[in-house]
């Protein structure tokens, strides 16, 4: 197949030229019924915001241009099959778990997963077997899964149906994916990989191994992050041992029947761009990130970490495009630097937590923007540096799992002030977003350390999400437990 083709985009362009009179949805009728929408997005955009029809195929059951686009994606990513996803990588992750797990099944996974993983466990009723990752005590961040930890979990839970792996973590850290796949497959377990931040692993040299090359069974690839497509668009990749028809049925349980052709065409075009130009594009990104790390570390106080962390175990590899920066040595939490950059310097970075910040670099970045970021960080150090005494350092807190996520989420609950929940079982999620890794998940015991962390993160200005109480003053806990 020719990777120069973009069948969905080409079909939309042909549709636009036909000047079809619309008596279907969407109701804005190519923008005529909503001029403010046209002013915002432009006539070219709204004119191809259309409904599924025979010439444009149907995402629920593709037979023509969408099917061809998925075949091109599978070839570009080296997968046996690919699915265009319009519910974000959240929907891809949930499909992976719902495909492999049902109520009562066990799945082995690290605890520092995105909330979408635990959401899927709430839906299907599977039991998580957590491999608690090591923590880098200096940086306060969770690392990858050690092989010995994975092997131990597999030996103790031979009836588990799957192993779930982050590749990479938000901070760029990778586990030994090839060996984890071998361990799991030797016990007939599927391997599911969250590659939300690893699209570029499929294009170029010098990157950690991607899931398909490592032999994984399914992988969720967030094209809208480093791949350049529109927000909310993603690919789900499958290996040769997965049944594509069944996977499609699982996707259709939760994914919309009114897929946006803006998202679909952006996936199509972005796949073509990466297939044709991805190798050189991501080489430039890696070089830009290395330049940024060098310049930030010259400032002093900050620590932009990279592949010097690799230990061939809990940090088996590192994503060279990640610009993760430890900020505590200048007396500021990552979220405080995040806020200052936005409010004082008009620079929006990806996220800040209590010890680190992440500036997301990808194919759209240029050296001049990186130099502006470096200059701002130097100025922030000069203006705002203070003593770090009394600042929390730990990002990851090992959970005490008491109930399954499904059992606790659907149990009878009561609402209590956060400060009075110690010793109780949480019935909802609490997390900073981004990155969306739960501090607390349904079924976990609330400890004094967790309460301290929640209150501290709120005080520092982290964006807290998850609880029913939007002010995060109360938590829902399992009644009577």
pLDDT at 140: 86
Domain 279-384 matching CATH 3.90.1150.10: the answer reads yes
Query: In this predicted structure, what is the pLDDT of residue 352?
Result: 92
State percent of the chain over pLDDT 70.
Answer: 99
Q: How far is CA 152 from the centre of its chain?
A: 27
Position 347 pLDDT exceeds 80: yes
Least confident of 43-52, 101-110, 378-387: 43-52
Q: What is the pTM of this model?
A: 0.95
Mean of all residue pLDDT scores within the chain = 94
> Span 353-358, mean pLDDT?
92
pLDDT at position 70 is 98
Beta bridge partner(s), residue 132: none
- Lowest mean pLDDT: which of 17-26, 158-167, 270-279? 17-26
pLDDT of residue 111: 87
Q: Does domain 405-478 have CATH number 3.40.1280.10?
A: no
Q: What CA–CA distance (Å, rounded) separates 130 from 401?
A: 9
Query: What is the arithmetic mean of pLDDT over 302-311?
Result: 97
Q: What is the pLDDT of residue 22?
A: 86
Q: What is the pLDDT of residue 312?
A: 94
Domain spans of the chain, in order of start:
59-259, 279-384, 405-478
- Higher-confidence residue of 330 and 395: namely 330
Q: What is the mean pLDDT of residues 407-435?
A: 93
Q: Taking Cα atoms as reference points, which of 345, 298, 351, 364 lies closest to residue 323?
A: 351
Q: Pick the closest to residue 268 from 67, 40, 16 (CA basis).
A: 67
pLDDT average, residue stretch 18-44: 91
d(CA 446, CA 467): 14
Please enumerate, as own/partner, the contacts of 25-30 that have beta carbons within 8 Å and a separation of 24 or more.
25/51, 25/258, 26/50, 26/51
Q: Give pLDDT, residue 395.
A: 66
CA distance 266 to 129: 37
Helices (H), 42-196: 43-46, 65-77, 88-100, 115-124, 147-156, 177-186
Q: How confident is the model at residue 460 (pLDDT cuts 50, 70, 90)?
A: confident
**10-19, 22-31, 151-160, 427-436: the lowest-pLDDT one:** 427-436
What is the C-alpha separation between 269 and 273, in angstroms, rounded? Answer: 6
Tell me what pLDDT residue 296 has.
98
Residue 394: pLDDT above 70? no
User: Residue 464 belongs to what H/E stretch?
Assistant: strand 464-465
Indicate whether 470 pLDDT > 80. yes
pLDDT mean over 394-422: 91
Question: What is the percent of the chain where pLDDT is above 90?
Answer: 85
Question: Is the pLDDT score of 181 beyond 70?
Answer: yes
Q: What is the mean pLDDT of residues 78-107?
A: 97
**Domain range 59-259, CATH class:** alpha beta
Higher pLDDT, 453 or 322: 322
Q: Say what the pLDDT of residue 265 is.
A: 97
Mean pLDDT of 332-359: 95
Least trusted range by pLDDT, from 116-120, 135-139, 280-284: 135-139
Torsion angle of the four alpha carbons 32, 35, 36, 40, in this order, in degrees rounded to the nearest 10: 70
């Amino acid at each position: 197949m020719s990777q120069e083709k973009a069948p969905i985009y080409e079909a939309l362009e042909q549709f636009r030229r036909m000047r079809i009179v619309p008596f279907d949805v969407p109701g804005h009728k190519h923008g005529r019924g909503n001029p403010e929408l046209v002013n915002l997005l432009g006539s070219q955009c709204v004119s191809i915001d259309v409904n599924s029809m025979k010439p444009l195929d149907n995402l629920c059951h593709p037979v023509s241009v969408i099917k061809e686009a998925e075949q091109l994606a599978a070839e570009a990513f080296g997968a046996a099959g690919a699915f265009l996803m319009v519910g974000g990588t959240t929907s891809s992750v949930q499909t992976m778990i719902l495909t492999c797990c049902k109520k009562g099944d066990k799945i082995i996974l690290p605890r520092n997963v995105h909330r979408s993983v635990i959401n899927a466990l709430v839906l299907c009723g599977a039991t998580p077997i957590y491999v608690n990752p090591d923590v880098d005590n200096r940086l306060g961040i969770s690392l990858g899964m050690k092989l010995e930890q994975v092997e131990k979990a597999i030996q103790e839970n031979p009836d588990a149906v799957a192993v779930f792996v982050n590749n990479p973590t938000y901070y760029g850290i990778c586990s030994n994916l090839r060996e984890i796949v071998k361990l799991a497959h030797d016990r007939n377990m599927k391997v599911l990989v969250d590659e939300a931040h690893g699209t570029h692993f499929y294009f170029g040299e010098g990157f950690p191994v991607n899931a398909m090359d490592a032999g994984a069974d399914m992988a969720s690839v967030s094209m809208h992050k480093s791949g350049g497509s529109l927000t909310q668009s993603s690919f789900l990749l499958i290996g040769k041992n997965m049944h594509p028809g069944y996977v499609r049925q699982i996707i259709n349980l939760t994914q919309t029947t009114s897929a946006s052709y803006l998202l679909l065409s952006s996936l199509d075009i972005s796949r073509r761009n990466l297939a044709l130009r991805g190798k050189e594009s991501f080489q430039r990104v890696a070089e830009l990130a290395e330049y940024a790390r060098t310049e930030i570390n010259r400032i002093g106080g900050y620590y932009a970490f990279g592949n010097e962390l690799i230990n061939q175990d809990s940090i088996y590899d590192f994503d060279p495009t990640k610009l993760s920066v430890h900020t505590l040595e200048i007396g500021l939490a990552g979220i405080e630097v995040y806020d200052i950059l936005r409010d004082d310097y008009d620079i929006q970075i990806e996220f800040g937590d209590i010890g680190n910040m992440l500036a997301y670099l990808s194919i759209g970045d240029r050296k001049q923007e990186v130099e502006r970021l470096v200059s701002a960080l130097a100025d922030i150090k000069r203006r705002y540096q203070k003593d770090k005494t009394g600042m929390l350092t730990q990002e990851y807190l090992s959970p005490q799992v008491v109930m399954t996520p499904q059992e606790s989420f659907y149990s009878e609950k009561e609402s209590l002030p956060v400060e009075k929940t110690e010793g109780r079982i949480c019935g909802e999620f609490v997390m900073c977003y981004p990155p969306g890794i739960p501090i607390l998940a349904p079924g976990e015991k609330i400890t004094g350390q967790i309460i301290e962390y929640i209150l501290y993160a709120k005080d520092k200005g982290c964006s807290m999400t998850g609880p029913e109480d939007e002010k995060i003053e109360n938590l829902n806990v399992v009644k009577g437990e």
